[in-house]
Structure formats: structure tokens, C-alpha cells
Chain A
Amino acid sequence: MSTINESDIQSFVEAVSAFFFQITEEKVEIRSAYLTEGGIAPSTFDLTSYITLSGEFSGRVYFSAPRVMVAHLLLVMQEPDRGDDRLLDAVGEIANTISGNARKHFGEAMQISVPVTQATEHDWLQTVVSPHSYVIIVKWKQYRASVVVDIQCVD
């Protein structure tokens, strides 16, 4: 196993930024760093989804956001149903889109699963991600969300 490099990470940052801009037509504020560098904790919010990678990569890409932020995104998307199922569907679709868009950089070598979604308790992410994870904090309007890239190359 080996860790991914800076340009690999940048592809996820760009995918996150592009996703929010495309949906909201607003630029989001992004902070990012390796977990081991300190300074940014992988905050867990109400709803979390993850994509499992296979092929020449292993690991997961997580997206976690507060319920109110996801509901606001659905409002922007003109989705009339903002019930729990739709909110979970939305976080799954966001993780899927971010990971899928990163394949522009990684190519077919990075296979992605369908998303798994769940309501999550405080600190859940900290219990499941590895120390070499890369954390991306997204700030849109007054909300914050986490994207955690916890992947390795399969040698």
C-alpha cells in the first residue's frame, strides 16, 4: 500500500469545489490538510455517506453534512421533498459525484461503489478513518461540511 500524492488530493479538492459551484452558483470556502498534520479534525455531522474504492485503490471517500445544510441544498435544487430519505439520498449523491468526478484524474483504475448513507453521531468519522486521511472542510453560507479522503494505492 502507498499513500496518494498531492495532485491526487487536489483532484478531490477541485471536485468538491466544482460540485458546490455547479449546484449553488456560489464559490465555497475550502480548507484542507492531512489529518496527521493537525489543525483540522474530520468533523462528523448529522448525515454521512461514503464510497468504497477498489481496483488500483482501496479505502473510502466520506461526505458528512448537517441536516439543515443538505435541506438548503435541496431547496436550491428545487427538490420539493426534503424528508429524511431525500436528505440521505442527497448526501449519497454528493459523495458519488465527488468521487466520480475525481476519476477525471485517476481514470478507470479507481473503481467506485454505490454510496452507503447513514445518520451519524458526533465523532463517528474519527473512529473509522485512518491517520493518513486527508480532510477537506467546505464552508457554504453559514454551514460547514466534511469530505474525508481515506485512500491508498494498491501496489
Chain B
Amino acid sequence: MKLLIVDDSAIIRSRIARVLSDLRLNSIEVVGMARNGMEAIALFLQNTPDIVTMDITMPEMDGVDCTEKMISLSPECNILVISALSDKATALKALKKGARGFLYKPFTDEELIAAFLELTNP
């Protein structure tokens, strides 16, 4: 399973990669990490990931627009939005654009793993 991590924070990117790699599911391969929506689309086209973790508030292109673009390119892609924006409207907007899960920051390792497994083993 190919994973693309999208977040403008390097700490969050490395934490998601570490926690999900520590799951030791052989099938998980981090194929790219992007700092904004534009970088994410380029990596998405190069690597065709199966699952994407997506921040919302980012420079260049935000996570809602990026989600919409990725879903238009690959409707089967699983996108897990991970954002600090805690209002319901933002979560609903992302889900409406095609995201399949939403996790609020700050999150614990256990919450990230649970959200990831729920998305990959519905």
C-alpha cells in the first residue's frame, strides 16, 4: 500500500511516517511527503498512492482543493484529512470533496493508528 503524507509541518510529516511505519505492516510504503497542495499533486501523479494523509491549512493550495483534485484524478484513492480545524463545516466540506476520514490535531499515536486502520480496513 503506497502512502503519501501531505502537511506543511515537517514534524507532523515525520511523526505520521514514523507511527505508521512502526505498525510494521509490510504493505505500507511511504512514497512521498509534500509541504503543500501543489507539491502533493505532483507526487500524487508520480506515485499513484493508495492512501493520502492530508492537512487542510497549507500554502499554495489548501487541503480541500487538493482533495478535490486528487479524487478527480483517482476516485478510488483513500484520503484521511488530519487537521486542527475543529469546526464541523470544515470536516463536512472535506468529506464532500471525497475524503474518507477526518482526524483532529492534536492527535495521539493511538488515534492516528485507529483512523488509519479504519480507513484501510472498513
Judge whether B23 is part of the interface by a CB distance below 8 angstroms. no
Q: Does B27 contact A (CB under 8 A)?
A: no
**Is B67 an interface position by the 8 A CB rule?**
no
Asked if B106 contacts A104 (CB within 8 A), the reply is no
* Interface set, chain B 41-99, CB cutoff 8 A to A: 57-59, 83-87, 89-90
- Majority-rule SS of B interface residues: loop
Q: Collect the chain A residues with CB atoms within 8 Å of residue B9's CB.
A: 89, 92-93, 96
**Interface-lining segment among A26-34, A75-83, A126-134:** A75-83
Most chain A beta carbons < 10 A, residue from B14, B85, B89, B108: B85
A140 at the interface (CB under 8 A from B): no
Closest to B85 in A: A100
Q: How many A residues face the partner with a CB closer than 8 A?
A: 30
The interface residues of chain A lying within 8 Å CB-to-CB of B108 are 22
* Residues of B near any A CB (own CB < 8 A): 8-12, 14-15, 18, 57-59, 83-87, 89-90, 104-108
Question: Is A101 a contact partner of B86 (Cβ separation < 8 A)?
Answer: yes
What are the residues of chain B within 8 A of A23 when measuring CB–CB?
106
Known A-B contacts: A18-B106, A81-B10, A114-B8. Give 16 more (CB < 8 A).
Answer: A23-B106, A78-B15, A79-B14, A89-B10, A89-B11, A93-B11, A93-B12, A96-B84, A97-B84, A99-B84, A100-B57, A101-B84, A101-B105, A103-B90, A107-B87, A108-B89
Residues of B within 8 A of A96 (CB): 9, 57, 84
Query: Contacts of B57 on A, CB cut-off 8 Å?
Result: 96, 100, 112-114
Residues in A neighbouring B11, C-beta threshold 8 A: 74, 77, 79, 86, 89-90, 93
